[in-house]
Amino acid sequence: MSSTATDSADTAPLKRTPLYELHRARGAKMVPFAGYEMPVQYPTGIIAEHLHTRSQAGLFDVSHMGQIRLRGAGAAGALEALVPGELQALAPQRMRYTLLLNDKGGIHDDLMATRVEDGLMLVVNAACKDADLAHLQARLDRGVTIEPRFERALLALQGPAAATVLARFATGVERMPFMSAVEVSIAAVPCSLTRSGYTGEDGFEISLAADHAVGVAERLLAEPEVAPIGLGARDTLRLEAGLCLYGHDIDEVTTPIEAGLAWTIGKRRRTEGGFPGAAIILRQLAEGTARKRVGIRPDGRAPAREGTAVVDPAGKPVGQVTSGGFGPSVNAPIAMGYVDAAHSAEGTALAVVVRDVARPARVAPLPFVPTRYYRG
């Protein structure tokens, strides 16, 4: 989730984040992404950036994501009517990954929700943020005040050295639990900090006023462990971590159960329902689904990209790749996709049709590399 979203297909002028000039000054290759000009890579290249994040710390510009504040004592209860997660029991300064659902149980968007004073802070996907805002405005109780904060910057510092680096600026952050939040000052700039991210590594996301973003980013990049990282490596990192990309691995016609996201449905919600598509989703939870999201490991070195057909050993179509490429940490091609439930067991022999040739593959466990979230 809180990662990236589908490329913008319209012809509107591209927007720029507050870090645009910083990216250009550091030699980034800029590309259109979700309506923005974003850095896909820096001169060192995607593989080097990926491996640096896994070994030290990478700084990502994710200011294109949508930040939305919900104010009001009933905000958590009101949002629960639109998502399957348990939010009312969420402790102050703790956060949860959840899903906006449509009436058929499909995923309208995935998001992060943090319990803050007098309400919730949401981070939604870039390409969905305007639609999400309209969705919330149309459906939330009028007692909840909705404040879009799309002008704010958002940085992600990810990797095993992230806590060490950030503790030089804000003492004590190294002890924050995973999926928690705190208000801190970084280089004398007020920031909202969460211990979270979408790379599979330990790390933090830093929300701050746009006019301070460059200064804070430059201070972090001056630390010896930190390098700027583009969207290309962000995508390979989240794929290795088995994390879904909205508009690719999950969408309006995919349910949480098909996507392997049943863990997002709280225990009380499984009993009470009360969220969009609950009847469909709870039935799938009990009876299973016709298709499932799985990890796929192609044999050989040819990657299976999004849209690649998946067939059984006899050549019968059984699914499709939704995300795929080369995994730098795995040093091999990796993919995720949906296959018929009968072919979803770990180790099942499959084939991926790459350049009109059916190449052997197998169902692999997710994630492809162990996650290293901080548990204390």
143 C-beta neighbours (distance < 10 Å), count? 12
Cα separation, 269 vs 274, in Å, equals 7
Instruction: Provide the pLDDT for residue 376.
Output: 81
Report whether pLDDT(324) > 90.
yes
Q: Which CATH number fits domain 290-376: 2.40.30.10, 2.40.30.110, 3.40.640.10, 3.90.1150.150?
A: 2.40.30.110
Q: What is the pLDDT of residues 192-203, one digit of tens each?
A: 999 999 999 999
Instruction: Give the CA radius of gyration of the chain.
Output: 20
* Distant-in-sequence, close-in-space partners of 196: CB < 8 Å, separation ≥ 6: 2, 95, 112, 178, 179, 203, 204, 205
Buried b (16+ CB within 10 A) or exposed e, 325-337: bbbbbeeebbbbb
Buried b (16+ CB within 10 A) or exposed e, 31-47: bebbbbbbbbbbebebb
Instruction: Provide the pLDDT for residue 189.
Output: 98
Q: What is the pLDDT of residues 5-43, one digit of tens each?
A: 334 445 789 999 999 999 999 999 999 999 999 999 999
**Taking the model in full, what pTM does it have?**
0.96
Give the residue range(s) of CATH 2.40.30.110 domains in the chain. 290-376
Give the residue range(s) of CATH 3.30.1360.120 domains in the chain. 15-63+152-240
Angle between helices 231-240 and 46-55 (to 10 degrees): 60
Query: Span 283-294, mean pLDDT?
Result: 98
Instruction: Provide the pLDDT for residue 121.
Output: 98
Give the residue range(s) of CATH 3.30.70.1400 domains in the chain. 66-148+255-289
Q: Which residue has the higher pLDDT, 240 or 376?
A: 240
Q: What is the pLDDT of residues 61-77, one digit of tens each?
A: 999 999 999 999 999 99
Name the H helices within the chain: 20-25, 46-55, 75-80, 129-139, 162-167, 213-221, 231-240, 267-272, 278-287
Q: Which two tokens stand for residue 164?
A: 């060490």
Report whether pLDDT(226) > 90.
yes
Task: Give domain 15-63+152-240's CATH architecture.
Answer: 2-Layer Sandwich (3.30)
Contact between 123 and 69 (Cβ < 8 Å) = no
* Distant-in-sequence, close-in-space partners of 29: CB < 8 Å, separation ≥ 6: 39, 40, 41, 42, 230
User: How many CA atoms lie within 13 Å of 199's alpha carbon, on the beta-carbon side?
Assistant: 36
Question: What are the Cα distances from residue 150, in Å, to 65, 130, 300, 327?
Answer: 8, 9, 44, 32
Q: Which two tokens stand for residue 331?
A: 């040093």
Cα separation, 338 vs 173, in Å, equals 39
Report whether pLDDT(296) > 50.
yes
Q: What is the pLDDT of residues 240-279, one digit of tens each?
A: 999 999 999 999 999 999 999 999 999 999 999 999 999 9
Instruction: Provide the pLDDT for residue 12.
Output: 83
Query: Span 88-106, mean pLDDT?
Result: 98
357 C-beta neighbours (distance < 10 Å), count? 9
CATH topology classification for 66-148+255-289: Alpha-Beta Plaits (3.30.70)
Report whether pLDDT(178) > 60.
yes
Q: Which residue, 6, 23, 31, is CA-closest to 155? A: 23
Evaluated on CA atoms 119, 125, 128, 130, the torsion sign reads positive
Report whether pLDDT(176) > 50.
yes
Report whether pLDDT(2) > 60.
no
The pLDDT > 90 percentage for the chain reads 96
Report whether pLDDT(139) > 70.
yes
| pLDDT band, residue 1 (cuts 50/70/90) | low
Instruction: For the chain, give the mean pLDDT.
Output: 96
